[in-house]
Structure 1
Amino acid sequence: MPLNFLTADHAPVVPAHDADRPLPHEERARWRRPYRLGPWRVAGAAVVLLLTSYVLISAVILAMAGQLTGAAVFAAVAALMTAAALRALRMGVWVSGAGLRQVGPLYTVTLPWAEVAAVRTAQQPVKWLGLPRTVQGQALVVERARGGSALRTQLTTHNADFLNRPEAFDRAADVIEGWSAEARGAQGEQGAR
């Protein structure tokens, strides 16, 4: 079973005559994460899944000992841990021809490109690995067209995907900004018609 959400989709090799297109891609309707998961995010999910296996073993032992209530509680805890690990792997920014989607631990925000006013990088204090400690770094800021408020900061140089990988952050930010610019350009062409 392929786990498509673990890897970034990469654009196919483009012939030289099509190189002037900013974002060569085939399936614009498909939601894709334009960057690879970082090692910190994958390692955190792996540790949670490892601990989940111990909780499941405890549930089996309790069930064999006749403690069905305890076994059910441990099985429910294991299910919650598995769901949390999978959600952690889904977290991030996703793009498609329809818009931009931010997936967080307990929320998902989807904005059509018409509602995205700007996508830019900014130098600002950012959370280190999502913890309360803040450090100076770069963040991808997505501003809404209505109200001008920005979405929660999801991509930073110090989150689980880009810690100690500033060049990967720059590439991801450039790709997301490119999707936004292309979508706004397409909307401008439609409005001119």
Structure 2
Amino acid sequence: MPLPFLTADRAFGADAESPDDAALPFDDHDHDHDYWRRPYRPGPWRVAAAAVLLLLTSFMLLATMIIAFAGALAGAGVCLGAAAAVIGCALRLLRMGVWVSRHGLRQVGFFATTTLRWDQITGVRTVQQPVRWLGLPRTVQGQALVVEQHGGEQLPALLTDHNADFLQRPEAFDRAADTVEAWGAEYGL
């Protein structure tokens, strides 16, 4: 079963000798540009957290089976519902991040999604600022990719070099930020 939210664009694929030799996502004529794509791969911290949640789910499903064989179908139903909720959380965790298409920019969070058309955005740039470490309340000095809307309104940082996708991977952050900025330059900034 293909999981499209786990795959990044082939912009920095294995067939490119270096990231500079690879084509940008909007140069890829093999793909339809009407769908949303993430311009980077999910980071190891995000994938590890989702894997731990799915491991927990396997134990919950085993408990569901044992409870069902014991004859307590109501308890089995509760365990099955809880396991389905944990699976949903793991999938949502993997889906979080920045997505782009020719129509605009989408920031997918755990509970909410913000979508902006390219004509609503005045700029996408990388800035030095305090950023949250792995999404926790602790802040450290780092880089963030920010979006400015018409009227000077700024969204929360799209990407940071200390989030679950880019912690200890500064070159991956730079590539992702450059790719999002290139999408913006191509489609209307």
With normalisation by structure 2, the TM-score equals 0.89
Report the Cα offset of residue 28 of structure 1.
2.0
Residue in 2 aligned with 1:133? 138
1:170 to 150, 164, 174: 174
- Structure 1 distance, partners of 2:136, 2:79, is 28
Deviation, structure 1 residue 67: 1.4
| Structure 2: unaligned runs, 5 residues or longer | none
Which whole-Å deviations, capped at 9, do the CAs of 1:129-155 have from their partners, x for residues lacking one?
Answer: 11111111111101112x322222231
1:35-88 alpha-carbon deviations (Å, 9 max, x no partner) = 111111111100000001101111111111111221111111101100000001
2:5 paired residue number:
5
Deviation at residue 10 of structure 1 after TM alignment: 1.4
**Counterparts of 1:1-193 in structure 2 under 5 Å?**
1-11=1-11, 23-26=26-29, 27-145=32-150, 147-184=151-188
**Which deviates more, 23-32 or 161-170?**
23-32
Q: Which runs of 4+ in 1 moved over 6 A?
A: none
Alignment identity in percent?
Answer: 61
Question: Which amino acid letter does the alignment assign opposite residue 8 of structure 2?
Answer: A
How many equivalent residue pairs? 179
Structure 1: tracts of 5 or more residues without a match: 186-193
CA distance in 1, matches of 2:80, 2:152: 45
CA distance in 2, matches of 1:75, 1:139: 40
- Write the deviation string for residues 68-113 of structure 1: whole angstroms up to 9, x where unpaired: 2211111111011000000011100000100000000001111110
Bigger CA radius of gyration:
1
SS in 1 for 2:77: helix
TM-score (norm 1): 0.87
